[in-house]
Structure formats: C-alpha cells, structure tokens
A and B are shown apart, each in its own frame.
Chain A
Amino acid sequence: EAAVTQSPRNKVTVTGGNVTLSCRQTNSHNYMYWYRQDTGHGLRLIHYSYGAGNLQIGDVPDGYKATRTTQEDFFLLLELASPSQTSLYFCASSDMREVFFGKGTRLTVV
C-alpha cells in the first residue's frame, strides 16, 4: 500500500529557532510536495521536487527551504522560524495520476 511518512507529527519551537520536517515515501514516486494548511486557505504549495537533487518553488516559499536527498526523502527546513509559520504541514508523493498524503506535522512557533 502507498505510504508517505512524516516526522515529527507534532513540534513546538521558539521564534528564531531551526526546524526540519522530514518526509519519506515508499511509493517509488518521482514527485514529492510540501504543503501548509491554514484555516480559510486550504492547502498551499510551499516547494516540490521531481527527483533527487531537484527543487521547484511553490506558491508560498518565503521562509522555507527544502531538500530532496533521495527519491524517498524530502525535507522542509525553517531556519529562522516565525509565529506566522505555525501551521499544519503535509507532505505528498505522486506519479502522474495518484497523489498520496502523509498524516501531517503540526508545527507551533511560540
């Protein structure tokens, strides 16, 4: 069965702190994505990748970096976290027709 695993599931950090969100997929999909979900906005695309070493900018990239180290692993980095980045983050993987989501990471920046 298709699987996308996110870690951690919950994270609290302080303003200015560094945070790394991890995502691993075992679907052999080329494409991986990071989204954030906020009330009233639905899911908004932060960054995405076509494969190891590739990175594409999404719709709300400011304050975020991402790195795709292998086909399986995609990381989202917040180097100077701010309260505006408090959100629910989802990772997804896909081929051309199927898109599967992880269970989400709830990040709180205090």
Chain B
Amino acid sequence: AQKVTQTQTSISVMEKTTVTMDCVYETQDSSYFLFWYKQTASGEIVFLIRQDSYKKENATVGHYSLNFQKPKSSIGLIITATQIEDSAVYFCAMREGQGGRALIFGTGTTVSVSP
C-alpha cells in the first residue's frame, strides 16, 4: 500500500532565508509521480512542483526545488529566498503510475515566514 509521511508539523523561518521540508513515501510501483502542493490561507490548494520517478534530475520551478533521493524514498521541498507570502501549509503527495490512481497526501507542514 502506498503511504506518504511528513513528520515536520511546523517550521518558522525569517524572510529571505531558505526552508527545507521533508517527505518520505512508500510504494511498490516502479513508476510514480511525486507532487508538492501549497494550501493558502483562503484554503485554495495550489500545485507547486512535480518529480517523475524515472527522472534523476531534481525538478526546479522558480524558487521551489526538490531533493529527490530515490534509494531513501525521500522527496524534500526547498524554498529559497522565502517571502512572507510563502507562509502556508505544504503538502507532499504521491501518485502511482498505473491506471490513474489517486493522489495520496501527507498530513502537511505549516510554514511561517517572518519579516
């Protein structure tokens, strides 16, 4: 069975610094997709970045990047040059590659960015 675990409940950082969030996953599939989403204060869930399991290169989008360590079943999210508006709940999610399976989510990490 697939499982996604985020052990960090909350993280506080100063503006313009770097924050790193952890996520580990469990799957029996050889092909899968890993996602990070952000939930804003209004409740909206916004897609941030995706890592395909067969790609060795870490994905990067804007000031978001991933630390994909496949042997450790780990997919960390790194946010550089944080801004106040990066304060949100961040969810890690996984989707196995066969037949359109649903996203399975971790429990989220709350990030607070202070000026």
Write the residues of chain A forming the contact surface with B, with a CB cutoff of 8 angstroms: 30-31, 33, 35, 40-45, 48, 50, 58, 88, 90, 92, 94, 96-101, 103-104, 106
Contacts and interface: CB of A to CB of B under 8 A. Distances in A.
Given A42-B107, A103-B43, 17 more contacts: A31-B100, A40-B107, A41-B107, A44-B105, A45-B104, A48-B102, A50-B99, A58-B102, A94-B95, A94-B103, A96-B100, A99-B35, A100-B47, A101-B37, A101-B45, A103-B44, A104-B44
B103 A104 contact: no
Given A97-B50, A104-B43, A33 B105 contact: no
Nearest to A9: B43
A62 B105 CA distance: 19
Interface in B11-44: 33, 35, 37, 42-44
Interface residues of B, number: 23
A33 B106 CA distance: 17
Contacts of A31: 100, 102
A90 B100 contact: no
Nearest to B103: A99
A64 B22 CA distance: 33
A43 B91 contact: yes
Nearest to A45: B102
A90 B45 contact: yes
Contacts of A88: 43
Contacts of A42: 91, 105-108
Given A41-B107, A42-B107, A88-B43, A97 B33 contact: yes
Contacts of B97: 96
B87 to A, nearest CB: 18
Contacts of B95: 94, 99
A104 B42 CA distance: 10
A4 to B, nearest CB: 10
Nearest to A95: B100
Contacts of A106: 43
Given A41-B107, A42-B91, A43-B105, A50 B47 contact: no
